[in-house]
Structure 1
């Protein structure tokens, strides 16, 4: 067990957690909170990998998109004195004295988390933010100052810990204030997409995804999985173009699950939504997988997710199935795909992206 650099820094400040009612938001690993197991703590996870590792009993969760669009969702698990929530956001008010936010990579995502945290705090509550120096923690203080006096509490392991003493009261977080609906157009199809900060390619149609939608092989049948679905761009497009398909949209992000449900509702569509860490714990067989997979973990380029995905994709695909994947051209995916699929074709390319089509 190795703590993340952020949690190694927090380990130096254990006295900070001695008092108060605490909410942790997006912890960077599943281990630090074990050191606070005697204290009652709430933990909100927007990322399923750390949530599932923290609760140790949930390999994946399946939802109906209509339920999420109508009611939202919070998946809750108790572990000793800690309550873990897998959720896109919390809308509770005046519940905590302290909120610890682990700094996300996107500025807009951080601003949204600050607003959410402020809404959950009691009067004169505190917001704490921990993050890596190279991840933008030095500029985070400027974004916190409008909430109240902000100071650096500690710095070590190339990380910093900031604290803001809240000034005034704040209303409960309203996700509608942060949600936007855009109309995307690919060839002769236009459709609405709902997005929120923290979701992949927030507010714009990613160029790689656009290439996939323009050049994908259209002879799709049966059940199709949109892996790493983000805001549901690929899945909603395919269902709009090919109403006979049955879609499953999967992502590690609660924000992606939420916005995919809202995108499907905006298009009068319904699909299965799956929260999972890659394809771990997913047993649903499919005819086709269509994806623009991630190659980043935090701020680092990381092929591990996609390597494992390619291996698991073969396991889930029917014998006559196919995988269509778009990726940056510099990534070494043709060789990786050839290790698991007998046929690997590059069906389209731009100066930046390649579209691969594989089959058995």
Structure 2
């Protein structure tokens, strides 16, 4: 289902073809809207999502992939952003826009009522010392906030800094569940030693952490053997945090940006995965089948893939056409751990 906020923002970007513009693209941006943008030399994109960045390049757009903290050496007449799901990201980008806009440049924010868009527009207006008002079209709010001078910065939870959280793990806003341990991942870890033993996984096995986040599964699995890890994620912030965690602990391996390991050719003895159920705002788009297919494609012939999902997800049915052997290793009221061969 097309995200109408992204669709409206795309129309505004095309209408501003004569302005030097910057577009911040995160997971809330509908990937299908990128093809509707007319490529031009005066429009730059920064995306923290690898799949969106790759799609932007395929559409002929000038895109850079990385955290939104990437160095930018010029100022813009207009900045565009579809409101994100995470408040620290929105606050940070409003704060940063004040540094990147020329005086009286415009920050254009678009999002639905449920995204808190009107509140964000009001906050940006106050920070920019502007008199802009939110315009409503059905459930979509649009704000064009003109920059005059800086007020008090919005609280972005120290977005620019890697932060130490539980058990000295490194994370930061922008990673899913950035300041806690995901309980599904923990449930997988609690059952991992048994799985390794029953599947005769060697102590020097190669491991693919598929959708690694800040690297929790790799960090915990490294306690069970001298494994070599390849950790992948679609999110630039997750990749940098995972790499920092691997290096801090001296764990052999690397974290790579990819859309579900689509740019990795190696096969592995063990695949670990806590797949997302959806992406962006389209809650009907279950990504589990894609993760299952990629796990199978990246397994050695005698390897095993270990998934953890919410207990109501019919993973076994989804995996039937992909894997020969499907075994539920553990299950409680919230999660189940499934070994696939």
TM-score of the alignment, normalized to the shorter chain, above 0.5: yes
With a CA cutoff of 8 Å and minimum separation of 6, indicate the structure with the bigger relative contact order.
Answer: 1
Contact 1:178 1:197 in 2 (8 A): no
CA-CA distance at 1:350 after TM superposition? 2.7
Q: Cα deviations across residues 310-353 of structure 1 (Å, max 9, x unaligned)?
A: 12221210111001111111111121123322222222223211
Contact 2:30 2:280 in 1 (8 A): no
Cα distance in 2, alignment partners of residues 175 and 87 from structure 1 = 17
Per the alignment, residue 130 of structure 1 pairs with: 110
Give a deviation string over 1:217-267, Cα, whole Å, max 9, x none: 23443210111111111112222x145211000111111111112222332
Q: Equivalents in 1 of 2:131, 2:274: separation in Å?
A: 39
Q: State the alpha-carbon separation in 1 of the partners of residues 157 and 21 from structure 2.
A: 21
CA RMSD of aligned residues (A): 2.9
How far apart, CA to CA, are the structure 1 residues paired with 2:169 and 2:272? Answer: 18
Aligned residues of 2:88 and 2:159 also touching (Cα < 8 A): no
Offset of 1:200 from its aligned partner? 1.0
The reply to whether residue 83 of structure 1 matches residue 59 of structure 2 is no
Give TM-score, length-normalised by structure 1: 0.80
Deviations 1:277-309 (A, max 9, x none): 223343221111011111122234345421112
**Partner of 1:140 in structure 2?**
120
Q: Does 1:119 align with 2:99?
A: yes
**Are 1:166 and 2:132 counterparts?**
no
Structure 2: unaligned runs, 5 residues or longer: none
Q: Which residue of 2 aligns with 1:218?
A: 196
Assess, with a 3 A threshold, how the Cα gap between structure 1 residues 214 and 97 changes in structure 2: closer, same or farther.
Answer: same
Q: Which deviates the most, 148-157 or 328-337? A: 148-157
| Other structure's SS at 1:117 match | helix
Q: CA deviation at 1:121?
A: 2.7
Distance 1:105 1:174 in 2: 15
Q: Are 2:257 and 1:275 equivalent residues in the alignment?
A: yes
TM-score using structure 2 length: 0.84
Q: 1:33 to 1:358 in 2, by over 3 A?
A: closer
Specify which structure has the higher proportion of strand. Answer: 1
My pick for the range that moved more, 107-116 or 42-51, is 107-116
Aligned mates of 2:317, 2:81 — CA distance in 1: 39
Question: Quick one: distance in 2 between partners of 1:21 and 1:270?
Answer: 44
SS in structure 2 of the partner of residue 100 of structure 1: strand
Measure how far apart 1:208 and its partner are: 0.8
Conserved? CA contact 2:246–2:254, under 8 Å:
no
Question: Contact 1:232–1:263 (CA<8 Å) still a contact in 2?
Answer: yes
- Could you say what secondary structure the match of 1:301 adopts? coil
Residues 130-187 of structure 1 deviation map (CA, whole Å, 9 limit, x = unaligned): 123333323322442442236346444742221222342599x997744311133xxx
The answer to whether the Cα contact below 8 Å between 1:9 and 1:155 also exists between their aligned partners in 2 is: no
1:227 lines up with 2:226 in the alignment? no
Distance in structure 2 (CA, Å) of the matches to 1:297 and 1:174: 23
CA, structure 1 residues 299+225, in 2 after alignment: closer, same or farther (shift >3 Å)? Answer: same
Mean Cα deviation higher: 101-110 or 325-334: 101-110
Counterpart position of 2:20: 21
- Over 3 Å counting, the alpha-carbon distance change for 1:105 and 1:355 in structure 2 is same
- The number of aligned residues is 326
8 A contact 2:6–2:82 mirrored in 1: no
For the 8 Å contact 2:41–2:62, the answer to whether it is kept is no
Asked if the contact 1:96/1:121 (under 8 Å) is kept, the reply is: yes
**Counterpart-to-counterpart distance in 2, 1:51 and 1:34:** 15
Aligned pairs (5 A) from 1:231-242: 231-239=214-222, 241-242=223-224
| Matched residue SS, 2:303 | strand
